[in-house]
Chain A
Amino acid sequence: MSATVQQARTTMPPKLPNPVSLLTIVGQRAWTALRNAAPLLVMLVIIFAVWQIAAGGAKSSLPPPSTIWKQSHDLILHPFYDHGGLDKGLGLHLIASLKRVAVGFSLAAVAGVLLGMLVGTSMVAMRGLDPIFQVLRTVPPLAWLPLSLAAFREAQPSAIFVIFITAIWPVIINTAVGVRNVPQDYRNVARVIRLRGPAYFAKIVLPSAAPYIFTGLRIGIGLSWLAIVAAEMLIGGVGIGFFIWDAWNSSNISDIIVALIYVGVVGFFLDRLVMMAGNFVTRGTSA
């Protein structure tokens, strides 16, 4: 084995890419990227064109893209301005919303994984808790808001609680399924080496359930982002939800449309972030 490696080392000269081939590679990369992105760019142009024509009339109730640019380009170009009070750039509003989601979602992730492990391991816990979870998870996120306002008497913890209670169910349910579905093969290995209790849990059950857990987390972060915008419309203060509501109250339809696009893009990146974290942590597990 080592002989063949050495032979390969001596016979093959170190390969340095010459400038011409490097240029070709860059060119090819750029061409591939362009070819992949082209359909999307064409689609965007078509959408904006149709929108411009459809909303361009004098009696139209919604602004066309040209009007939005005229009225709201400040929002698009300067996301981080701060004129004091609630007059802030969209970026600052988004950061406020993201902070709430980060706190609520982190709490939901920790509590959800722990509860999911309990329900997945113990038959008694499953019989006792699962029916409750199944009923509570169908309660729409905003329905919790009045109750949490009554309990916390403050906007900030109430919003965080709504995120928490929204995101926790898919985490619990997926974790429980993952814990219950540890393959018999892995369990046999653990039995032969007499791996039991917390060590068995940490070394076999958790890694084996990790792909399920991350599926739950991904659904959870999506739901969190859905809930925060709605919750912030009601509680006020800084936040993207409040920004949209405020824009509506001052009839700034252009601002609303810009904010919606931001909300969508941020939601997309949140989803990708959790997916990438999952791929990193569970690399190899699906084999």
Chain B
Amino acid sequence: MPHFLDISKVGITFKPGAPAVLVDVNLTVNRGEYIAIIGHSGCGKSTLLNIVAGLTTATTGGVLLDGREVDSPGPDRAVVFQNHSLLPWLTCRENIRLAVDQVFDGKQAPRKSRAERAEWVDENLELVRMSAHADKRPAEISGGMKQRIGIARALAMQPKVLLLDEPFGALDALTRAHLQDQVMEIHHRLGMTVLMITHDVDEAVLLSDRIVMMTNGPMATIGEIATVDLPRPRDRLALVENTNFIAARQKVMEFLYARHRNPAQAA
């Protein structure tokens, strides 16, 4: 049986003659799975996400999603960008509305009427608990709120796989924890498939079913995949003493800091 998301033999070279950034990346993901991709800066993890998104084209290999080859960006692979990428001239609601109007036009996804689209936007605002700030512009809300709108915009496209590119990277620790809990809760409710880039070990272990560890670039590839064997829903406080949590955490730490130290820091 073919996998839901199948990344096979993906490699990419940006300049001819230069060493490849990614080589021979193979990964299969099941429907509803939460995958974290972790690695040091410059290991090409964002490039891998962009290839799945279709924003970057792989030099070799390819990506299959639900039996279809990925050849261009599309709402079935909605991206939450690290820098939120909200359009500053639109309010939060309008930002989501723009995506919803565009996607549910009857060509990309079944057509929704005006009223249905408005309702769907409100539903997604409620999902990330941003209804109260819906009519503010991005400049008027905090970084964490912007990221929540980014997530709502992505979820509103009803993607087959949600791509998160270091979504909490620019946030302070408390806001980050709060958002992680929210994403966990939404994942629990909707059961969507997620591919998340991160460089935070705790975040990877807390949120994901499997952690994909990348070796250092150039010529980066998947070094190891760890399965996180923890029941859901997960509670960050209860996990602190959980042996499976500690074991998974140690495994990733050991990979990142003992066997594949950041070349920039080692020097």
Contact = CB atoms under 8 A, between A and B. Distances in A.
Query: Interface on chain B toward A: helix, strand, loop, or mixed SS?
Result: loop
Given A188-B81, A284-B137, A194 B53 contact: no
Interface in B51-104: 53-55, 72-75, 77-79, 81, 83, 85, 87-89, 98-99, 102-103
Q: Is the interface of A mostly helix, strand, loop or mixed?
A: helix
Nearest to A196: B102
A3 to B, nearest CB: 12
Contact of B138 (A191, A199, A287): A287
A24 interface: no
Given A188-B79, A287-B137, A287-B139, A194 B102 contact: yes
Contact of B85 (A185, A203, A287): A185
B157 interface: yes
Contacts of B132: 1
Nearest to B76: A192
Nearest to B102: A193
Contacts of A186: 85, 87
Given A185-B85, A284-B88, A194 B55 contact: no
A192 B74 contact: yes
A193 B153 CA distance: 10
A78 B157 CA distance: 65
A134 interface: no
Contacts of B53: 192
Contacts of A56: none
Contacts of A286: 88
A207 interface: yes
B113 interface: no
Nearest to B103: A193
A32 interface: no
Contacts of B85: 185-186, 188-189
Contacts of A191: 54-55, 72-73
A1 B125 CA distance: 14
B81 A185 contact: yes
Given A193-B99, A284-B139, A207 B89 contact: yes
B108 interface: yes
Interface in A179-200: 185-186, 188-189, 191-195, 199
A282 B73 contact: no
Interface in A148-178: none
Contact of A188 (B55, B74, B138, B139): B55
Interface in A16-74: none
B67 to A, nearest CB: 20
B137 to A, nearest CB: 4
A207 B88 CA distance: 9
Nearest to A281: B89
A208 to B, nearest CB: 8
Question: Which among B54, B74, B102, B108 has the greatest number of chain A C-beta atoms within 10 A?
Answer: B102
B83 A185 contact: yes
Interface in A196-249: 199, 203-204, 207-208, 210
Nearest to A192: B73
A6 to B, nearest CB: 13
Interface in A232-287: 282-287
Contacts of B108: 194
Given A1-B132, A284-B137, A287-B137, A192 B87 contact: no
Interface in B136-152: 137-139
A259 B137 CA distance: 45
Nearest to A284: B137
A285 B87 CA distance: 8
A65 B50 CA distance: 71
A282 B137 CA distance: 12
A195 B138 contact: no
A195 B87 CA distance: 14
A194 B87 contact: no
Contacts of A188: 55, 73, 79, 81, 85
Contacts of B54: 191
B209 to A, nearest CB: 25
B11 to A, nearest CB: 22
B89 A282 contact: yes
Contact of B77 (A189, A192, A207, A210): A192
A104 B259 CA distance: 70
A287 B136 CA distance: 13
26 contacts: A1-B129, A1-B132, A185-B81, A186-B85, A188-B55, A188-B73, A189-B81, A189-B85, A189-B87, A189-B99, A191-B55, A192-B73, A192-B77, A192-B78, A192-B157, A193-B99, A193-B102, A193-B157, A194-B74, A194-B108, A207-B89, A284-B89, A284-B139, A285-B88, A287-B137, A287-B139
> Closest 7 CB pairs between A and B?
A287-B139, A185-B85, A287-B88, A191-B73, A193-B102, A284-B137, A207-B89
